[in-house]
Amino acid sequence: MEKPIYKRILLKLSGEALLGRNVFGIDINVIKAIAVEIREIRDMGVEIGIVIGGGNIFRGVEVSTRGIDRASGDYMGMLATVMNSLALQNALEKEGVETRVQTAIEMRAIAEPFIKRRAVRHLEKGRIVIFAGGTGNPYFTTDTAASLRAMEIQAEVILKATKVDGIYDKDPVHHSDACLFREINYTDILSRNLRVMDATAISLCRENRMPIVVFNLERRGNIKGVILGKPIGTRVGVGHDSESI
């Protein structure tokens, strides 16, 4: 049996990953498929923390340009991440996976408050922990929340799930000649202004030497493949030279 190369991970899911064919909200079939893949790697003995965005429901940055102040918009976006987290928790528990949701903004009727030691204890007991509510502060993205939580739970890697095969030198959706990087370092991401994660998140990972793997969530089996160390997506880390194909 193949063995995972990581013991503890932080999986970053975008809210848009839950859309499927919808233009808004959650595609039940998509979230079920994600839950099945997460269960498979949990069954391999991997400890899993998850941060999920809320862009499928609400984007604070976008509404701030339409008259709602940025702080209020960001708090509304944090609530959207809680909705997505509860939906994912439900899907995981239907797969027989014990799951806890912890929020940066307290709402004890539906989730635990974020407490680092409690989160680590859940992970050690084989439970999946979903971190909702971002950092609990406006002006910070869920990418930054993912980086922060990864440091706090001492994850070995951040797995950034996207709709494309990794990090490209330009948007592959609009440019057919875009080149995929197999390996790249943090400094090159910042200097090239590659928008795979926001600059705060990348800087935090660079300062703490937290590796990142960016991969396509829509390809079935990719999460397991990354966990097994297969050459999937783009690897970001200290000392990685920029290597494109």
Which domains does the chain show, CATH number per domain?
8-165+196-231 (3.40.1160.10)
At 195, the pLDDT band (50, 70, 90 cuts) reads: confident
161: three-class secondary structure by DSSP:
strand
Euclidean distance between CA atoms 61 and 55, whole angstroms: 10
Average pLDDT over residues 208-222: 95
Q: What is the pLDDT of residue 80?
A: 94
Q: What is the pLDDT of residue 206?
A: 96
Strands (E), 45-89: 47-52
Assess whether pLDDT exceeds 70 at residue 242: no
More confident residue, 166 or 70: 166
Euclidean distance between CA atoms 60 and 81, whole angstroms: 12
Assess whether pLDDT exceeds 70 at residue 75: yes
Upper half-sphere CA count for residue 147 (Cβ side, 13 Å): 20
At 236, the pLDDT band (50, 70, 90 cuts) reads: very high
Percent of the chain beyond pLDDT 70?
Answer: 94
Assess whether pLDDT exceeds 90 at residue 24: no
**Residue whose C-alpha is closest to residue 208's, from 200, 216, 198:** 200
